[in-house]
Amino acid sequence: MELDNLKSLWNKEDVSETPEISPEKQKQLHHPLERIRKNMRYEFWSTVVLMPIILMIVWFSPLPFRFNLYLEILVLSMTLVTGFFFNKFFKLYKEISNPALGTLDSLKDLLHQFELNKQYYVSFYLSFVPFFVCEMIIVLESIPQTHNYSNAMLAMVFLGSVAFGLTMVYFIGTAWFKYFYGKYIKKIEVLVEEMKK
């Protein structure tokens, strides 16, 4: 008896399907998604080309052996960190390439993926803080001591350089994300808000 009641309640329950995205909205979504994919490809290939160039410049620079070795290790370490973040990057790229973006829920999930990717970007730039500090230490230690600077003066130069460099990395990274991805993500968010109404 109880089972029959449960079955009838189950059958009466109104299960609404996830709304499909109209063909007009899909056309509007196509442009920003394609631009994001294009920018992701550009960013990947430019990084793939840039890393070996940086390594070759370091290898063939007429620098002292130890200075050269430290820079090579730093660049290789940065390459490993970049590889880790590009792994996350590819997951989003595949998600955008997924042709099953036909429902509002799938778009909401994609927007969540974009938000995660933004956090990965922030993490990526923060992961370069130790590399930047190490490079500054290497540069300061390698400069010939032609003048007798006080320790306070060297500390101020070091801390000022690190603060300036990190501020620049933050602003450049934020501007980069906004220019290459932010404006297209904003367009998708607007379309999703229109579809919710």
Q: Tell me whether residue 123 is in a domain.
A: yes
Residue 17, in any domain of the structure: no
Q: Which domain holds residue 65?
A: 22-142+150-196
Q: What is the pTM of this model?
A: 0.71
**Residue 174 maps to a domain:** yes
Task: Please name the amino acid found at residue 133.
Answer: V
Q: What is the pLDDT at residue 49? A: 92
pLDDT 10s digits, 2-58: 656 655 655 554 444 445 666 676 677 778 888 888 998 898 899 889 888 988 888
In a domain, 14, yes or no: no
| Greatest Cα pair distance in the chain | 96
Distance in angstroms (rounded) separating the CA atoms of residues 95 and 59 = 38
- Pinpoint the alpha helices (H) of the chain: 2-12, 23-59, 65-97, 104-127, 129-142, 151-177, 183-196
Q: Does residue 8 form part of some domain?
A: no
**pLDDT by residue (tens digit) across 114-161?**
888 888 888 888 888 888 888 888 877 776 666 677 778 878 888 888
Give domain status of residue 119, yes or no: yes
Domain count, the chain: 1
> Within a domain: residue 3?
no
Report the alpha-carbon distance of residue 146 to residue 150 in Å, rounded: 13
